[in-house]
Amino acid sequence: MPRDHTVKSGASDAEDGMVVIAASMRGAGAAISARCAAISDAGVTAGRGAAREVGVRMSRSREAWTVLRKRACATALAGVALATVVLSGCGGGTGLTAAPGVLGAAPPNPSATATPAAALPVADALRELRLRATVDAYLAHMTLDEKLGQMVELEVDIGAGGPVYYPDMDNMVRGLHAGAIIVYIFDTKWPLSQLRDYLNSIQGNAQVPLLTMMDEEGGVVDRLEGWDGPRPSAQDLGASGNPQNAYLAAAKDAHDLRAIGINTDLAPVVDTRLIPNQVEWTRLYGDDPKTVDRYAGAFLQGLQKNGEIGTLKHWPGIGSIWQDPHLTLPTITRTRAQLEASEFQAFRGVLALDPGLIMVTHVVVSAIDPNLPATLSPLLVNGVLRKELGYAGVVVTDNLYMEGIRLHWALGEAAVLSVMAGDDLLATAWDSGSMTTITGALKQAIHDGRISVARIDQSVRRILTLKARYGLLPPITTRTPPPVPVAEAIGSGMAVADRARTVGVV
């Protein structure tokens, strides 16, 4: 089952970055494990010299420890004893490989027992290194077909009699290597345990476990209502006056979804109602971005702190449309300033909570890209969402067979344009033929030079990283993280430290 996903607190980014530097020096010959070989006399001398150089200025304050770590890295990179200096500053000693937090295990739960603040960055850094090693190993051994399959989301429509694992589904899972599946339920006259068994069959036959998805928002989009009754809508939660109600509703959703094998909820909706007849009705938390942020953010945390992957939707924000992208291609005519103050602001406020996915939908935003819908627009995905708002996670498309896309682009071309725009997970294939159409079009685009293999790797890495963070990928068992170039380690670590100081963390 997916492990709890928690956001680090109480530990500085600078400390975390420097621990990563220390761990990364394995690749440069720095033996920082408690099981390392005997430290050479030359390394000891260099490390001690670096420590003496800055140690005379060192106090017991956090600022002084940060100075020690940074200057030790700069002046004694070749000294094996540097690792000891750095880790001493981080509170981790030299037993780095013995720290807790191996990928796949649940992180420590908050408790009244005090945990040394400096110990957390070591465990977190180890977890990140192991996660990176896991993703690197999976990606390195994948064929192009396997990579393309990871970028496709399947769908299954369940009616009378419940789900059945039929041969074509098996082909999409095993033969075409699908990366995700969404479940639509149209009949509930069958035991819910049947769905759990069905999803277990899918996962058991998959080489790489799938993201198993459902739209469980509550209100008018409540897939589980037939079994346990109605759940409150976003509008109900927003009107309750207490964001904790949204958190508790999502926590229950997370528990119930995980119990039947659903690891990803396509919720919450982060659209801000800007017109009375907005197309989503009661699916919205409120009429202003601050209210939306408070309740959508609480709902997201209720999911993800209880092990369920959450999804923000529908980028770039569709609170001002009355037309339905399932039926047509709407156009948003608001100015860039209006978008920044409402639609984009709502998403910006929740991004800090590290959502697992963001869903992009089919609307033209004339102020930014009058020619392409957001799903297919590099300006709105790579431009605004990734570069301006800083989102680096998985972007999943709304269904590419919706009329907003289908009336203007064929499925294969829509898939290609989506990847060119910056999307990662393509929804949805409904049989082997449609899935082959998607992957075949991507292959042809690679052959024609429209998309690079590196671009495919970028999306697959994001997808695998998400799966690894939630314990869906079996971890790599090797004890030693892969080497990182020293220049890269120093550069990234110093950038983390500088950023932390800028925002007042250190």
CA distance 506 to 64: 10
Q: DSSP per residue over 294-334, as a string?
A: HHHHHHHHHHHTTT-B-EEEEET--TT--S-TTTS--EE--
Pick from 216, 184, 197: nearest CA to 261: 197
Q: Do 480 and 437 belong to one domain? A: no
pLDDT at 477: 57
CB atoms inside a 10 Å sphere around CB 243? 21
Which of 119-128, 187-196, 450-459 has the lowest average pLDDT? Answer: 119-128
| 141 part of the active site | no
- Across the range 241-249, mean pLDDT stands at 98
Co-location of 374 and 443 in the same domain:
yes
User: Residue 160: its pLDDT value, please?
Assistant: 85
The verdict on residue 168 lying in a domain is no
Separation between Cα atoms, residue 120 and residue 133, nearest integer Å: 20
pLDDT class of 20 with cuts at 50, 70, 90: very low
CA angle 442, 150, 453 (to 5 degrees): 45
φ, ψ (nearest 5 deg) of residue 313:
-150, 155
Asked whether the predicted pLDDT for residue 59 surpasses 50, the reply is: no
User: Do 25 and 51 belong together in one domain?
Assistant: yes
Confirm if 99 and 121 have CB atoms less than 8 A apart. Answer: no
In this structure, are 285 and 348 located in the same domain? yes
Virtual CA dihedral for 401, 403, 406, 408, nearest 10 degrees? -160
Residues 488 and 404 in one domain: no
Q: Are residues 315 and 428 in the same domain?
A: yes
Q: Are residues 307 and 356 in the same domain?
A: yes
Question: Token match 């949805």: residue?
Answer: 428
User: 75-89, 153-167, 419-433 — which is least confidently predicted?
Assistant: 75-89
End-to-end CA distance of the chain: 36
Cα-Cα-Cα-Cα dihedral sign, residues 433, 444, 152, 359: negative
What is the phi/psi pair of residue 269, to 5°? -80, 130
Residue 80 has pLDDT above 60, yes or no: no
Quote the Cα angle for 244-249-253, to 5°.
Answer: 145
Mean pLDDT of 432-442: 98
Distance of CA 499 to the CA centre of its chain: 21
Tokens at residue 499, please?
A: 């950023």
Domains in the chain, number: 2
Euclidean distance between CA atoms 308 and 435, whole angstroms: 26
Q: Looking at the chain, how many residues does it have?
A: 506
Residue 5 lies in a domain: no
Q: According to the model, what pLDDT value does residue 188 have?
A: 86
The CA angle 221-223-226, to the nearest 5 degrees, is 120
The mean of the pLDDT values for the chain is 79
Q: Please tell me whether residues 33 and 69 are part of one structural domain.
A: yes
> Does residue 171 sit within a domain?
no
pLDDT score of 476: 59
Residue 169 lies in a domain: no
Which of the following is catalytic: 253, 265, 398, 423? 398
Q: Is residue 147 part of a domain?
A: no
Q: Which domain holds residue 243?
A: 233-469
Q: Distance between CA atoms of 229 and 396, rounded to whole angstroms?
A: 29
Q: Catalytic residue at 256?
A: no
CA-nearest of 50, 13, 19 to 32 is: 19
Q: DSSP assignment, residue 395?
A: E
Query: Are residues 483 and 397 both part of a single domain?
Result: no
Instruction: Read off the CATH number of the domain in which 394 is found.
Output: 3.20.20.300
**Is residue 220 domain-resident?**
no
Q: Is residue 246 part of a domain?
A: yes
For the stretch 301-348, pLDDT in tens is 999 999 999 999 999 999 999 999 999 999 999 999 999 999 999 999
216, part of any domain:
no
Tell me how far apart the alpha carbons of residues 185 and 187 are, in angstroms, rounded to a whole number.
6
Pair of tokens at residue 98:
């013995």
**Across 344-364, average pLDDT:** 97
Beta strands in 356-488 (DSSP E): 357-360, 364-365, 369-373, 394-397, 426-429
Rg (CA), the chain: 24
492 shares a domain with 414: no
pLDDT 10s digits, 374-395: 999 999 999 999 999 999 999 9
Point out the catalytic residue in the list 326, 408, 457, 498. Answer: 326
442 and 314, same structural domain? yes
User: Residue for token digits 């009375």?
Assistant: 276
| 308 & 440 share domain | yes
224 and 231 Cβ atoms separated by less than 8 Å: yes
